[in-house]
Chain A
Amino acid sequence: MLDLKLLLKEIKEEEYCIIKLNQDFPSYHAGQDLDIFCYHPEAMSKKILKWANPYLSDTISIDITLKNGNLHLYVDILENKEIHFRFDLYGALPHYQKLLIKPAFFESVVENRVEKRLSNDGGTCCFVPSPIDDIMLRYFEFVEWYDVRPDKIKHLEFLMAELEEEDKPQFMRKLHHYTALPETRYEEAKVQHFRMIRYVYKKLKGKTPAEIFSLFKRKLFS
């Protein structure tokens, strides 16, 4: 239904990079999304709206959600109030919990983007991450969702298949430059434990034994 090739023509002057591009693109199936890194998410969203306006009807509407100080936007094309297609626009790196990633990696991805000619249309092209950046992004996804989404294993399989032996040193160099491991869970637990002790101490400070007993009794049976 949606002519995504037309959208690519509309945004060709924008500084953007489509990450995790599906191999069937610009074909798609309902419910799919497109993740885009761009320097100006607002400007990008306006171009998407301009392209999407002709599709509006009694059953088709558009939803825009602003998050993270307008650095992260969702532009959803809805059909009968269900998401038909989503544009996930990022003006900065998404937040990862399992890895610490330098914010400058975002600019590195956009600046080092490469042009991809779409296989089923000789004239249309889009911009995607360089091979190394693409593998790094898939690696981040794998680490982030390792214990939650078993289907994210596809990113690790892709990584193992795509990473050439001669690219490994550059991949490792870039990975070590832009990432670090966060504090371990044990360290987090220690900090939380200490905070709890400090909280309880403040609550009990200056109270008589009878008042303390009464407080515990209230907490236990409330």
Chain B
Amino acid sequence: MLGSRIPPYRYDYFLIWGHGLQYQDQIIDTIRSHEHLEILSLIAHRPRSIKHLVKCIYSYDYAPYFHLRSKTRYLMTTPREVLFIFLKNHLPAEDWSGENDFRHIESATLKPLKESLRDRFNDRIDGKRTEDHVVHASDNELQTHHILKYLNRGGVTNLCEKRPILDLPNYIRPYQNITIKKVDIDSIDCRILKGDRFEFQTVIVPIAESPHYKSISENTNIYEDYLDSFLGGPLTQDYSLKRFLKLDRHLDYLGEANPTGYVTVEEQKNSRYLILDGLHRASILLKRGIKQITVAILK
């Protein structure tokens, strides 16, 4: 082990190749349930060619690309769509691995999980696991940083950046002024998505017409179908039906656990408000019959 130089956490990623996307939900569930891993972002990606993506992924590898060409040949026939799962690794447990020229540092937390996912989901021939891996994982944080830049997502600092005071995700525009006040829940609208994860539009509707509200008041499949269509595309946070239903049961809005967890909105014309963050919470409050809620209005 590296002793005192072991960092308290680091940023890693898993990549699900095209032929592994059929197991996407199970892979994400496995990673999500790992006690030391926190999913930060899911990004679906259609590269211009798999060859180009493979070269990019492995250009920061410890092994030279020519060595990996045979190992990665199988990827050239996989579908031209992948899913990146970016995570905060709370127990990097960095240690040396490999031999001779290929000796390198990697996370002792990620490695067994990666192997376990490959054991479960790699194709098998005569009962034996093939090396046509369905998942790839980062060896170090630098690889994560470079992949984020390749995806035009800034880098690892952007991954964890939060907006001040309210700890909002960084896709919310910067603000200089916040107003906290009570508003009628009926005066709040939200944006929902139409299309699919690569080609989509947004539509503004009242909360009651959102798939979030409909799934907890009518049919939970509505939310699952919504996530299937858009997770990894315009929806990059770690959403799941299970987490939403758990929130529905346990939400204590602005309670002791999260007193500044306001539904965040911006004011529209005709005295209405548009949700920027917190549609899940607003849907739950509407279902509970709350007439007025405390919101944070960004200016």
Q: Which residues of A contact B (CB under 8 A)?
A: 42, 45-46, 49-50, 52-53, 56-58, 61-67, 70, 73
Contact = CB atoms under 8 A, between A and B. Distances in A.
Contact of B181 (A45, A62, A66): A62
Nearest to B258: A50
Contacts, number: 49
A53 B259 contact: yes
In order of increasing CB-CB distance, the 6 nearest A-B pairs are A50-B259, A61-B181, A62-B180, A64-B178, A46-B260, A70-B164
Interface of B: 164-165, 175-182, 254, 259-260, 294
B260 A49 contact: yes
A64 B260 CA distance: 13
A56 B181 contact: yes
B177 A46 contact: no
Contacts of A62: 179-181
A50 B165 CA distance: 12
A39 to B, nearest CB: 15
Contacts of B254: 53
A58 B175 CA distance: 24
8 contacts: A49-B180, A53-B254, A56-B181, A62-B180, A63-B177, A64-B178, A66-B175, A66-B176
A64 B165 contact: yes
Nearest to B262: A49
Contacts of B176: 65-67
Contacts of B181: 56, 61-62
Contacts of B259: 46, 49-50, 53
Nearest to B176: A66
B177 A45 contact: no
Given A61-B180, A64-B180, A56 B294 contact: yes
Contacts of A70: 164
